[in-house]
């Protein structure tokens, strides 16, 4: 079995943003030479996530609205007592999760017809990273 690891770095322009990283994941898979296995894509920050969904502006905005409704910015989060102001971003991470595993079949990401891999940023405008690790043959 082989493995291949690469890191993607982000510094988003907006505080909250979905970034389509499917193309980068496909590039990394191709460079790995792995034809059968799995790709792990994991945000290495607790205020960001990785999410698979449709790359359609309506669903992306609906998702962000949904996350804002469930975990809105509030001044009274207990986490803010530490001096931080990103309690909502931590909760949004819980809702989207920090990683996904994608099957690799015949050298390609085995995604459904509308599935796209997104880096989900909830406390942006600073440098963060994602690890992409592929294992297989």
Domain ranges of the chain: 2-100
Indicate the average pLDDT of the chain.
97
Q: How does residue 134 score in pLDDT terms, banded at 50, 70 and 90?
A: very high
82: Cβ contacts below 8 Å, ≥ 6 apart: none
Q: What is the pLDDT of residue 102?
A: 98
Burial class (CB within 10 angstroms; exposed 0-12, middle 13-18, buried 19+) of 3: exposed
Question: What DSSP element (H or E) covers 43?
Answer: strand 37-43
57-95 confidence digits (pLDDT tens)? 999 999 999 999 999 999 999 999 999 999 999 999 999
Report the SS3 class of residue 10.
Answer: strand
Query: Which architecture does CATH list for 2-100?
Result: Sandwich (2.60)
**Cβ pair 103, 38 in contact under 8 A:** yes
Q: Tokens standing for 74?
A: 């509030």
Burial class (CB within 10 angstroms; exposed 0-12, middle 13-18, buried 19+) of 104: buried
Q: What's the rounded mean pLDDT across residues 21-32?
A: 98
Length of the chain as a residue count: 137
User: How many CA atoms, within 13 angstroms, populate the side-chain half-sphere of residue 26?
Assistant: 11
**Cβ pair 44, 5 in contact under 8 A:** no
Q: What is the pLDDT of residue 97?
A: 93
Report the SS3 class of residue 112.
Answer: coil
Among residues of the chain, what percentage have pLDDT more than 70?
100
Residue with tokens 């469930």: 70
């Amino acid at each position: 079995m082989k493995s291949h690891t690469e890191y993607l770095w982000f510094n988003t322009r907006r505080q909250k943003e979905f970034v389509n990283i499917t193309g980068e994941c496909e590039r990394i898979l191709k460079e790995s030479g792995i034809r059968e296995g799995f790709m792990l894509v994991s945000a290495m920050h607790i205020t960001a996530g990785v999410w698979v969904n449709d790359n359609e502006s309506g669903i992306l905005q609906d998702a962000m609205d949904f996350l804002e409704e469930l975990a809105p910015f509030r001044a009274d989060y207990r986490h803010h007592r530490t001096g931080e102001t990103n309690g909502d971003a931590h909760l949004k991470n819980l809702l989207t999760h920090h990683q996904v595993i994608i099957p690799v079949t015949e050298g390609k990401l085995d995604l459904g017809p509308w599935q796209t891999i997104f880096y989900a940023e909830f406390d942006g405008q600073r440098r963060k990273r994602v690890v992409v690790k592929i294992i297989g043959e």
